[in-house]
Amino acid sequence: MELPKRDKNHSLESKAEAAFDKLIADSGCFLVQRSDRKDYGTDYQIEVVRDDMATNARLHVQLKGTGKTPNADGSISVAVEMANLNYLRMQAYSFYVCYHEPTESLKFRSAEAVTRQYQRSENDWMQQNTVTVNFIEPLTLSVLERLVVVRLDARNRQRHDDDGSRSAGRGQFRWRSWSVAEGLVARWLAFGTLPTTLHRWLCNERWPLYGFPHTACALNHRLATPNPGTV
């Protein structure tokens, strides 16, 4: 008797969602706030959880699944539409997640890193219909913890800027200067490396006094652990 067969893409999609949902649940630092079934470009909105409290600090995630053989360097390449990348870039700190079916693993790449990769090329990449996302870094609990730091610091900077806008003159300049400095550090923490001299200065005992405990904590942790590499 002939019966409908399950589409392979649907099966892969279900496995990808199950793997990602499990990692988020195990992390304890995020919760899935929304799954977008309209598929305009963001599959998930995940919200930072701090001290068992929802923070309304969210990140947008696009989930991809593939069964492709890895590249020679171990990376996984997935093509996405340019419109999808543009859509994801509308929200700061958005990222792609790739589920690799043969190894049942998840990999991570920020939309910002994809953009920087193409901006360094000489091609008129903005006119392309598709771009290739190269996934190298595994999506682990430590990566999620880095993203928590970045997202909370971004929210705190926005609050500082809002408060600073009510001030004037030198005080306002000083407040915004520290906000910009913290923003640079937060980006280095999640998406790159930190110059040694600046790293040492920021890790001294005075840094927490400036009101950036999340950044200070993450920097001290980074000092004691290997750099996971750029994304």
Q: Provide the pLDDT confidence category of residue 30 given band limits of 50, 70 and 90.
A: very high
Residue 219: burial class (beta carbons within 10 Å; 0-12, 13-18, 19+): buried
In a domain, 105, yes or no: yes
Q: Domain count of the chain?
A: 2
SS3 of 45, please? strand
Residues ≥6 apart with Cβ < 8 Å to 165: 172
Domain boundary among 95, 124, 139: 139
Q: What are the tens digits of pLDDT across the range 33-60?
A: 876 666 566 899 999 998 889 998 999 9
| Token reading at 203 | 């890790």
Residues 128 and 79 sit within 8 Å (Cβ to Cβ): no
192 and 208 within one domain: yes
At residue 132, what is the residue type?
T
Domain boundary among 100, 122, 139: 139
The average pLDDT across 139-146 equals: 94
What is the overall mean pLDDT for the chain?
77
State the residue range of the domain holding 165: 143-224
CA distances from 71 to 75, 96, 107 (A): 5, 18, 14
Domain boundary among 85, 111, 139: 139
Instruction: Give the model's pLDDT for residue 158.
Output: 72
22 and 108 within one domain: yes
Could you tell me how far CA 85 lies from the centroid of its own chain?
14
In a domain, 3, yes or no: no
The average pLDDT across 140-144 equals: 94
Q: Which residues are registered as beta bridge partners of 64?
A: 98
Q: What are the tens digits of pLDDT across the range 170-221?
A: 445 444 555 555 555 555 555 554 554 554 555 444 444 334 444 444 444 4
Residues ≥6 apart with Cβ < 8 Å to 34: 44, 45
Q: Provide the pLDDT confidence category of residue 14 given band limits of 50, 70 and 90.
A: very high
CA distance between the termini of the chain: 50
The average pLDDT across 82-98 equals: 93
Q: Provide the pLDDT confidence category of residue 31 given band limits of 50, 70 and 90.
A: very high
198 and 90 within one domain: no
**Higher-pLDDT residue of 5, 74:** 74
pTM of the full predicted structure? 0.69
157 and 122 within one domain: no
